[in-house]
Amino acid sequence: MADDPRPPYPEQQQPMPGTTGAMDPRPDHGEESYIGSGRLDGKRAIITGGDSGIGRAVAIAYAREGADILISYLNEDEDARDTQKWVEEAGRNAVLIAGDISEAAHCRAIVERAVEEFGGLDILVNNAAHQASFAEIGDISDEEWELTFAVNMHAMFYLAKAAVPHLENGGVIINTTSINADQPNAHLLAYATTKGAIQNFTMGLAQMLAEKNIRVNCVAPGPVWTPLIPATMPPEAVKNFGDNTPIGRAAQPRELAPPYVMLATDEASYMTGATVPVTGGRPFI
Protein backbone atom coordinates (compact mmCIF):
# COMPACT_ATOMS: atom_id res chain seq x y z
CA MET A 1 0.00 0.00 0.00
CA ALA A 2 1.17 3.55 -0.67
CA ASP A 3 1.14 4.45 3.02
CA ASP A 4 3.19 1.47 4.25
CA PRO A 5 6.29 2.59 6.18
CA ARG A 6 9.39 3.23 4.09
CA PRO A 7 13.04 3.55 5.09
CA PRO A 8 14.79 5.19 6.75
CA TYR A 9 13.39 3.61 9.92
CA PRO A 10 14.03 4.97 13.43
CA GLU A 11 17.25 3.82 15.06
CA GLN A 12 16.57 0.67 17.08
CA GLN A 13 18.22 -2.52 18.29
CA GLN A 14 16.82 -5.42 20.31
CA PRO A 15 18.24 -8.51 22.01
CA MET A 16 17.59 -11.75 20.14
CA PRO A 17 15.06 -13.07 19.22
CA GLY A 18 13.24 -9.70 19.38
CA THR A 19 9.66 -8.74 20.20
CA THR A 20 6.89 -7.09 18.22
CA GLY A 21 5.99 -4.48 20.82
CA ALA A 22 9.45 -2.89 20.78
CA MET A 23 9.44 -2.29 17.01
CA ASP A 24 9.04 1.17 15.47
CA PRO A 25 7.02 1.21 13.30
CA ARG A 26 4.93 -1.68 14.58
CA PRO A 27 4.51 -4.40 11.93
CA ASP A 28 1.15 -4.95 10.27
CA HIS A 29 0.12 -8.61 10.37
CA GLY A 30 -3.30 -8.04 8.83
CA GLU A 31 -5.00 -7.69 12.20
CA GLU A 32 -7.38 -5.05 10.85
CA SER A 33 -7.30 -5.84 7.13
CA TYR A 34 -7.33 -9.57 6.37
CA ILE A 35 -10.80 -10.84 5.49
CA GLY A 36 -11.30 -14.60 5.21
CA SER A 37 -13.71 -16.48 2.97
CA GLY A 38 -13.73 -20.03 4.36
CA ARG A 39 -10.98 -21.34 2.09
CA LEU A 40 -9.51 -23.48 4.92
CA ASP A 41 -12.69 -24.47 6.75
CA GLY A 42 -12.04 -27.30 9.19
CA LYS A 43 -8.32 -27.54 8.43
CA ARG A 44 -5.76 -28.14 11.18
CA ALA A 45 -2.39 -26.42 10.93
CA ILE A 46 0.96 -26.18 12.68
CA ILE A 47 2.87 -22.92 12.23
CA THR A 48 6.40 -22.72 13.62
CA GLY A 49 7.49 -19.22 14.54
CA GLY A 50 3.80 -18.38 14.70
CA ASP A 51 4.20 -15.87 17.51
CA SER A 52 5.33 -12.91 15.37
CA GLY A 53 6.30 -11.70 11.93
CA ILE A 54 5.32 -13.83 8.94
CA GLY A 55 4.13 -16.63 11.23
CA ARG A 56 1.65 -14.37 13.03
CA ALA A 57 0.32 -13.01 9.74
CA VAL A 58 -0.19 -16.55 8.44
CA ALA A 59 -1.87 -17.62 11.70
CA ILE A 60 -4.33 -14.72 11.51
CA ALA A 61 -5.10 -15.42 7.86
CA TYR A 62 -5.49 -19.18 8.37
CA ALA A 63 -7.81 -18.64 11.33
CA ARG A 64 -9.98 -16.23 9.37
CA GLU A 65 -10.09 -18.80 6.57
CA GLY A 66 -11.43 -21.38 9.05
CA ALA A 67 -8.39 -23.31 10.33
CA ASP A 68 -7.40 -24.30 13.87
CA ILE A 69 -3.77 -23.46 14.64
CA LEU A 70 -0.97 -24.83 16.78
CA ILE A 71 1.53 -22.01 17.28
CA SER A 72 5.09 -23.18 17.92
CA TYR A 73 7.57 -20.62 19.26
CA LEU A 74 10.82 -20.42 21.22
CA ASN A 75 10.15 -18.29 24.33
CA GLU A 76 8.35 -15.10 23.22
CA ASP A 77 5.32 -15.68 25.44
CA GLU A 78 3.80 -12.20 25.12
CA ASP A 79 3.91 -12.26 21.32
CA ALA A 80 2.53 -15.81 21.26
CA ARG A 81 -0.40 -14.91 23.51
CA ASP A 82 -1.18 -11.94 21.28
CA THR A 83 -1.30 -14.19 18.21
CA GLN A 84 -3.46 -16.67 20.14
CA LYS A 85 -5.89 -13.85 20.90
CA TRP A 86 -6.30 -12.99 17.21
CA VAL A 87 -6.85 -16.63 16.26
CA GLU A 88 -9.47 -17.09 18.99
CA GLU A 89 -11.21 -13.85 18.02
CA ALA A 90 -11.65 -15.42 14.58
CA GLY A 91 -13.53 -18.25 16.31
CA ARG A 92 -10.83 -20.88 15.91
CA ASN A 93 -8.77 -22.93 18.35
CA ALA A 94 -5.23 -21.77 19.11
CA VAL A 95 -2.78 -24.02 20.95
CA LEU A 96 0.57 -22.61 22.11
CA ILE A 97 3.69 -24.73 22.54
CA ALA A 98 7.01 -23.14 23.52
CA GLY A 99 10.36 -24.83 23.05
CA ASP A 100 13.45 -25.31 20.93
CA ILE A 101 12.78 -26.86 17.52
CA SER A 102 16.47 -27.63 17.09
CA GLU A 103 15.69 -30.65 19.30
CA ALA A 104 14.18 -33.59 17.40
CA ALA A 105 12.14 -34.71 20.42
CA HIS A 106 10.48 -31.29 20.67
CA CYS A 107 9.59 -31.37 16.98
CA ARG A 108 7.90 -34.73 17.47
CA ALA A 109 6.09 -33.34 20.53
CA ILE A 110 4.73 -30.45 18.46
CA VAL A 111 3.15 -32.81 15.94
CA GLU A 112 1.83 -35.14 18.64
CA ARG A 113 0.24 -32.22 20.47
CA ALA A 114 -1.49 -30.94 17.31
CA VAL A 115 -2.90 -34.38 16.52
CA GLU A 116 -4.04 -34.80 20.12
CA GLU A 117 -5.72 -31.38 20.26
CA PHE A 118 -7.27 -31.33 16.79
CA GLY A 119 -7.74 -35.02 16.00
CA GLY A 120 -5.44 -34.87 12.99
CA LEU A 121 -3.27 -32.60 10.86
CA ASP A 122 -3.70 -31.08 7.40
CA ILE A 123 -1.07 -28.33 7.07
CA LEU A 124 2.50 -27.92 8.32
CA VAL A 125 4.09 -24.49 7.91
CA ASN A 126 7.83 -24.62 8.62
CA ASN A 127 8.48 -20.94 9.18
CA ALA A 128 10.68 -20.44 12.27
CA ALA A 129 14.26 -19.36 11.64
CA HIS A 130 17.47 -18.23 13.32
CA GLN A 131 19.85 -15.68 11.85
CA ALA A 132 22.76 -13.52 12.95
CA SER A 133 25.05 -11.08 11.11
CA PHE A 134 28.82 -11.49 10.80
CA ALA A 135 31.33 -9.51 8.73
CA GLU A 136 33.97 -12.26 8.51
CA ILE A 137 33.82 -16.06 8.33
CA GLY A 138 36.20 -16.19 11.28
CA ASP A 139 33.60 -14.40 13.39
CA ILE A 140 31.13 -17.28 12.97
CA SER A 141 31.65 -19.79 15.76
CA ASP A 142 31.18 -23.49 15.16
CA GLU A 143 28.28 -23.36 17.62
CA GLU A 144 26.58 -20.52 15.71
CA TRP A 145 26.88 -22.37 12.39
CA GLU A 146 25.49 -25.56 13.90
CA LEU A 147 22.63 -23.71 15.65
CA THR A 148 21.57 -22.02 12.40
CA PHE A 149 21.39 -25.35 10.60
CA ALA A 150 19.69 -27.05 13.56
CA VAL A 151 16.88 -24.46 13.75
CA ASN A 152 16.45 -23.66 10.07
CA MET A 153 17.12 -26.98 8.35
CA HIS A 154 17.25 -29.94 10.72
CA ALA A 155 13.98 -28.96 12.42
CA MET A 156 12.26 -28.85 9.05
CA PHE A 157 13.27 -32.48 8.48
CA TYR A 158 12.23 -33.57 12.00
CA LEU A 159 8.84 -31.86 11.72
CA ALA A 160 8.09 -33.13 8.21
CA LYS A 161 9.10 -36.66 9.15
CA ALA A 162 6.78 -36.58 12.18
CA ALA A 163 3.92 -34.92 10.29
CA VAL A 164 3.79 -37.06 7.13
CA PRO A 165 2.12 -40.10 8.78
CA HIS A 166 -0.73 -37.79 9.84
CA LEU A 167 -1.11 -35.90 6.56
CA GLU A 168 -3.80 -37.63 4.57
CA ASN A 169 -4.57 -37.32 0.87
CA GLY A 170 -4.36 -33.58 0.10
CA GLY A 171 -2.06 -32.70 2.98
CA VAL A 172 0.23 -29.72 2.65
CA ILE A 173 3.72 -28.73 3.77
CA ILE A 174 4.85 -25.13 3.22
CA ASN A 175 8.43 -24.10 3.97
CA THR A 176 9.81 -20.58 4.30
CA THR A 177 12.96 -20.07 2.25
CA SER A 178 14.25 -16.58 1.32
CA ILE A 179 15.56 -14.28 -1.40
CA ASN A 180 18.87 -15.29 0.20
CA ALA A 181 18.54 -18.72 -1.42
CA ASP A 182 19.13 -16.99 -4.76
CA GLN A 183 20.95 -13.78 -3.74
CA PRO A 184 22.87 -14.57 -0.53
CA ASN A 185 23.72 -11.70 1.82
CA ALA A 186 27.37 -12.24 2.71
CA HIS A 187 26.80 -11.00 6.28
CA LEU A 188 24.12 -13.69 6.71
CA LEU A 189 26.30 -16.54 5.45
CA ALA A 190 24.95 -19.32 7.68
CA TYR A 191 21.32 -18.21 7.33
CA ALA A 192 21.56 -17.78 3.55
CA THR A 193 23.15 -21.21 3.17
CA THR A 194 20.28 -22.86 5.06
CA LYS A 195 17.74 -21.05 2.90
CA GLY A 196 19.30 -22.53 -0.22
CA ALA A 197 19.14 -25.95 1.43
CA ILE A 198 15.47 -25.41 2.30
CA GLN A 199 14.59 -24.76 -1.33
CA ASN A 200 16.39 -27.96 -2.39
CA PHE A 201 14.74 -29.92 0.45
CA THR A 202 11.34 -28.65 -0.68
CA MET A 203 11.82 -29.79 -4.27
CA GLY A 204 13.13 -33.20 -3.25
CA LEU A 205 10.47 -33.86 -0.63
CA ALA A 206 7.76 -32.81 -3.08
CA GLN A 207 8.83 -35.60 -5.42
CA MET A 208 9.05 -38.11 -2.57
CA LEU A 209 5.51 -37.37 -1.34
CA ALA A 210 3.75 -36.84 -4.67
CA GLU A 211 2.35 -40.37 -4.78
CA LYS A 212 0.70 -39.75 -1.40
CA ASN A 213 -0.86 -36.55 -2.81
CA ILE A 214 0.93 -34.49 -0.16
CA ARG A 215 2.08 -31.23 -1.70
CA VAL A 216 5.30 -29.49 -0.61
CA ASN A 217 6.06 -25.91 -1.64
CA CYS A 218 8.01 -22.96 -0.32
CA VAL A 219 7.66 -19.20 -0.13
CA ALA A 220 10.72 -16.99 -0.68
CA PRO A 221 10.26 -13.64 1.06
CA GLY A 222 12.39 -10.64 0.34
CA PRO A 223 12.94 -8.14 3.17
CA VAL A 224 10.09 -8.32 5.71
CA TRP A 225 9.73 -6.02 8.73
CA THR A 226 9.81 -8.50 11.64
CA PRO A 227 11.46 -8.62 15.10
CA LEU A 228 14.41 -10.55 13.64
CA ILE A 229 15.56 -7.40 11.86
CA PRO A 230 16.32 -5.07 14.80
CA ALA A 231 17.39 -8.13 16.84
CA THR A 232 19.98 -9.48 14.40
CA MET A 233 21.12 -6.78 11.98
CA PRO A 234 23.49 -3.81 12.47
CA PRO A 235 21.98 -0.31 12.97
CA GLU A 236 22.63 0.98 9.46
CA ALA A 237 21.08 -2.13 7.89
CA VAL A 238 17.99 -1.73 10.10
CA LYS A 239 17.68 1.95 9.21
CA ASN A 240 17.71 1.26 5.46
CA PHE A 241 16.03 -2.14 5.52
CA GLY A 242 14.20 -2.86 2.27
CA ASP A 243 15.49 0.11 0.30
CA ASN A 244 17.26 -2.29 -2.10
CA THR A 245 13.96 -3.45 -3.64
CA PRO A 246 12.30 -1.86 -6.70
CA ILE A 247 9.27 -1.17 -4.51
CA GLY A 248 11.63 0.71 -2.19
CA ARG A 249 10.57 -0.68 1.17
CA ALA A 250 10.36 -3.84 3.26
CA ALA A 251 7.19 -5.92 3.14
CA GLN A 252 4.78 -5.84 6.02
CA PRO A 253 4.07 -9.38 7.32
CA ARG A 254 0.45 -9.21 6.10
CA GLU A 255 1.77 -9.04 2.55
CA LEU A 256 3.25 -12.52 2.91
CA ALA A 257 0.12 -14.25 4.19
CA PRO A 258 -1.82 -14.63 0.88
CA PRO A 259 0.71 -17.00 -0.78
CA TYR A 260 0.69 -19.24 2.30
CA VAL A 261 -3.11 -19.33 2.14
CA MET A 262 -3.18 -20.10 -1.58
CA LEU A 263 -0.61 -22.91 -1.26
CA ALA A 264 -2.65 -24.50 1.54
CA THR A 265 -5.88 -24.60 -0.47
CA ASP A 266 -7.06 -26.94 -3.20
CA GLU A 267 -6.64 -24.01 -5.59
CA ALA A 268 -2.96 -25.03 -5.65
CA SER A 269 -3.68 -28.71 -6.27
CA TYR A 270 -1.22 -28.89 -9.19
CA MET A 271 1.54 -27.00 -7.41
CA THR A 272 4.24 -28.99 -5.67
CA GLY A 273 7.99 -28.45 -5.48
CA ALA A 274 7.43 -24.80 -6.32
CA THR A 275 8.95 -21.63 -4.89
CA VAL A 276 6.73 -18.55 -4.70
CA PRO A 277 8.87 -15.39 -4.51
CA VAL A 278 7.48 -12.38 -2.63
CA THR A 279 10.44 -10.06 -3.02
CA GLY A 280 9.26 -6.53 -3.73
CA GLY A 281 10.48 -6.78 -7.31
CA ARG A 282 13.93 -8.27 -6.72
CA PRO A 283 14.53 -10.99 -9.33
CA PHE A 284 14.43 -14.59 -8.13
CA ILE A 285 15.41 -17.48 -10.39
Residues with active-site annotation = 191
DSSP 126-167: E--------SSGGGS-HHHHHHHHIIIIIHHHHHHHHHGGGE
**Burial tier of 284 (Cβ tally within 10 Å: 0-12, 13-18, 19+):** middle
Please provide the DSSP assignment of 225-273 as one string. Answer: -STHHHHHS-HHHHHTTTTTSTT-SPBPGGGTHHHHHHHHSGGGTT--S
> In sequence order, what are the residues at sequence separation of 6 or more whose Cβ sits closer than 8 angstroms to the Cβ of residue 89?
none
- Residue 108 corresponds to which amino acid? R
How far apart CA 221 and CA 277 sit, in angstroms, is 6
Please state the φ and ψ torsions of residue 80, each to the nearest 5 degrees: -65, -40
Contact 140, 190 (CB under 8 A): yes
Pairing label, strands 121-126, 167-176: parallel
**CA pair distance 231, 218, nearest whole angstrom:** 25
Cα–Cα distance measured from residue 196 to residue 181, given in angstroms and rounded to the nearest whole number: 4
